[in-house]
Structure 1
Amino acid sequence: MWARASAALLAGFLLAAAVTGLVAWLPPGPWQRAIVPSLVAFVPLWMLAALWAFSFRSGLRAWAWLGAGALAGFALLWLLRAMHWVQ
């Protein structure tokens, strides 16, 4: 249970941060317009990730899935910025 709780706290935070970054960057226009709605969405996204962590059978699976999702999200953010598709 502690492994899933730590995955919910840490990996869920990173996953929610990556999704929040995508929510801020992907709409057309400057990202500054989307920062407030994306920050408002951050806490519910983090809570959803935390709930999702407790649906796994083991803490290792929770860490693996949430960590992979966070890694994929940050990789996508990096790719969008490296290709100059976002400001």
Structure 2
Amino acid sequence: MNDDARVRLQSRHWFGKTMAGAVLGFGLALALSGLFAWLGPDGIAGGGGKVQFSMWLMAPVWALVLSFVYLFRDSLRAWLWLGAANALAFAALWCVRWTMA
């Protein structure tokens, strides 16, 4: 593939990418934090320190997703990939909660 045929990253998709990162990034951070809470040391009843760590884990994960969302070529791809990641993470969380409850 030559350089002329490649799609260049453009700034016109910044709003869609930002919204995908903000909305779906929050959901992904929530699901991953929940997975850590269930699968981490001592399970869901790990105590105060684990609860605090799970809560504070959301901010860096959300910020990481929001930072890397601008690497998608357009906003549609950001919404689709992050939507799929959310579906997988929440499905895994549901399976873990159902089997460990």
Both structures adopt the same fold (TM-score exceeding 0.5): yes
Q: 11, 14, 27: which one pairs with 2:24?
A: 11
Q: 3, 11, 15: which one pairs with 1:2?
A: 15
Tell me the TM-score normalized by structure 2.
Answer: 0.77
What RMSD, in angstroms, separates the aligned Cα atoms of the two structures?
1.3
Unaligned segments of structure 2, at least 5 residues: 1-13
1:17-75 deviation line (CA, Å, top 9, x unaligned): 11111111102424242221111111000000111211101001111111111110100
Tell me the number of residue pairs that the alignment of Structure 1 and Structure 2 aligns: 85
Tell me the TM-score normalized by structure 1.
Answer: 0.88
Unaligned segments of structure 1, at least 5 residues: none
2:60 alignment partner in structure 1: 44
Work out the CA distance in 2 between the residues paired with 1:56 and 1:72: 19
1:77 alignment partner in structure 2: 93
**SS of equivalent residue, structure 2 residue 71:** coil
Structure number with larger C-alpha Rg: 2
**Segments ≥4 residues shifted beyond 6 Å:** none
Tell which deviates more after alignment, 45-54 or 28-37: 28-37
